[in-house]
């Protein structure tokens, strides 16, 4: 999710100390919510969520969201991205 090449010097081994542990935590949460017999793996679904949320974060961070879709409710957009990919509660 982070551009480690741009963050060099801001901390050592960011991928191993921040990004991968964060991804694993997300994966554990996703795995706990998967319905038994799901055809999608927790790794695959987590990656889909990760990249979807990264895309939202990118357009918000560089302010292009205002040019693309002015007035977008960002928290609602994030919630939609998450609920679109996670199974409904039993």
Crossing angle between the packed helical segments 20-33 and 42-61, to the nearest 10 degrees? 120
pLDDT digits (tens, 9 = 90+) for 17-51: 788 899 999 999 888 888 777 788 889 999 999 99
Q: What is the distance between the alpha carbons of residues 88 and 31, in angstroms, rounded to a whole number?
A: 14
Q: In the numeric block, which tokens belong to residue 36?
A: 């038994």
Instruction: Look up the pTM and report it.
Output: 0.72
**CA-based radius of gyration for the chain:** 15
Q: What is the distance between the alpha carbons of residues 22 and 50, in angstroms, rounded to a whole number?
A: 10
């Amino acid at each position: 999710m982070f551009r480690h090449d741009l963050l060099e010097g801001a901390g050592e081994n960011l991928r191993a100390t921040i990004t991968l542990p964060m991804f694993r935590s997300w994966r554990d949460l996703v795995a706990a919510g998967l319905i038994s017999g799901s055809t999608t793996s927790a790794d695959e679904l987590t990656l889909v969520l990760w990249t979807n949320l990264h895309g939202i974060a990118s357009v918000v961070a560089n302010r292009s969201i205002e040019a693309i879709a002015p007035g977008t409710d960002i928290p609602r957009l994030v919630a939609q991205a998450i609920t679109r990919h996670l199974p409904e509660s039993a």
